[in-house]
Amino acid sequence: MGDHAPPWGELFALSVDRVSETVEEMHLAIVDPWFRFAGPVQRQLRGVSAGATSAVYRSVRGVAGLVGALVDTIPDGPPAGERSVRSGGVQAFANAVWGDEFDRRASSMAIGVDVRDASGEIVPPDAGSLARAFPEASGRVVVLLHGLGQTERCFTRSDGGMADALASSSFTPVLVRYNSGRAVAENGGELSTLVEQLCAGWPVPVAEIDLVGYSMGGLVARTAIDIGRSSSERWTQSVRHVVTIATPHAGSPIEKGVEALSRALMVAPQSRPLGRFIAKRSAGIRDLRTGVALPSAVDGVKYHLIAAVVTSNTSHPVGSLVGDLVVRPGSATDGKGTMAGDRVLIGRRRHDDILDDPSVSSRILAWLDAD
């Protein structure tokens, strides 16, 4: 998929299909009660209205499908690197919402679990490709995993980021992009296979593997280790550190609220279509409701958990309640204490800007370099 533009037409058609389907159902549910005032002809009028309404919405979906198919016949356009910079974020967001469906359709809109270079292009995990992409590779590999609806660029910035900080030390950062709309377990399994291939083709002997996951990426990292250990994959024996940043180990209150909203909307016939629309959110998003059930820890691996709160005082009750506006500190630091390790709580940070804090990169480097 790194060589071709994503099928934006397919995304357009799917968006229109999902939205129009919901609007059509709501339309019928809102109009239906009024037909009882028509007396003995209410059944006939209801049938005529439903048929006409369905025909209109089918036409809308049909036109959207034709337009989408036409869009996808247009040549790719700009070079791959430029396309990646411009469209990667939109594609990642679309995958967060419908990534599991793209995966079931085998659509080229679906993102795989892949190593990416600085321009966002896929780096195949074979010896030749890895040697070209990592000419100064060291034996200390740090796999960086983004969060929901993001790409690996959350770890890179024009003025320097975590990837640059790691590269300037004795580590080699490896950027990975994955389809965050798929179930965490599926991404974890594919990541485990990818890192096994990465180690086999790495330009120098791998002495150490560390995983750094932001938000959902922390769940994917932990799942990959669990699956890799269960499958006796060799790479897991080289894992020394796992760092999670604002990861909802015990779930996110936002996703819990969305689930409650979906159930509440199911009560009334007029709002039920909207409830079903919300219920169709991706498997990856649904996994954030409770986190992922995993073994408490892995022998020989050191865990480091970073959380943030929006208040300056990290002990303030408001900070404890809202956390970083997405994840509460108790969830991000595994409040149940199932993972022994370092726990850090940072104040005056939101979920979407914690990676911009230079102290985060510095602290992670200190942890990794402690060995």
User: Domain segments of the chain: what residues?
Assistant: 8-94, 111-252+288-369
User: What would the pLDDT profile of 223-241 be if each residue is shown by its tens digit?
Assistant: 999 999 999 999 999 999 9
Q: What percent of the chain has pLDDT over 90?
A: 75
User: Can you read off the two tokens belonging to residue 331?
Assistant: 């969830």
Tokens of 42: 């209410």
Q: Which CATH number fits domain 111-252+288-369: 3.40.50.2300, 3.40.640.10, 3.40.50.1820, 2.60.120.260?
A: 3.40.50.1820
Task: Give the helix, strand, coil percentages of the chain, each rounded to 5.
Answer: 55, 10, 35
Rounded Cα distance, 366 and 155, in Å: 17
At 75-97, the pLDDT tens digits run 665 544 444 556 788 999 999 99
Q: Which pLDDT does position 4 carry in this prediction? A: 57
Per-residue confidence band for 2, with pLDDT thresholds at 50, 70 and 90: very low
Task: Read off the pLDDT of each residue in 294-307 and give the average, rounded to a whole number.
Answer: 85
pLDDT value, residue 158: 64
State the pLDDT at residue 52: 93
- Tens of pLDDT, residues 53-62: 999 999 999 9
For residues 10 and 309, the model is more confident at 309
Cβ atoms within 10 Å, residue 122 = 19
Q: With contact defined as beta carbons under 8 Å apart, do 220 and 213 qualify?
A: yes
What is the C-alpha to C-alpha distance for residues 23 and 18, in angstroms, rounded to an integer? 9
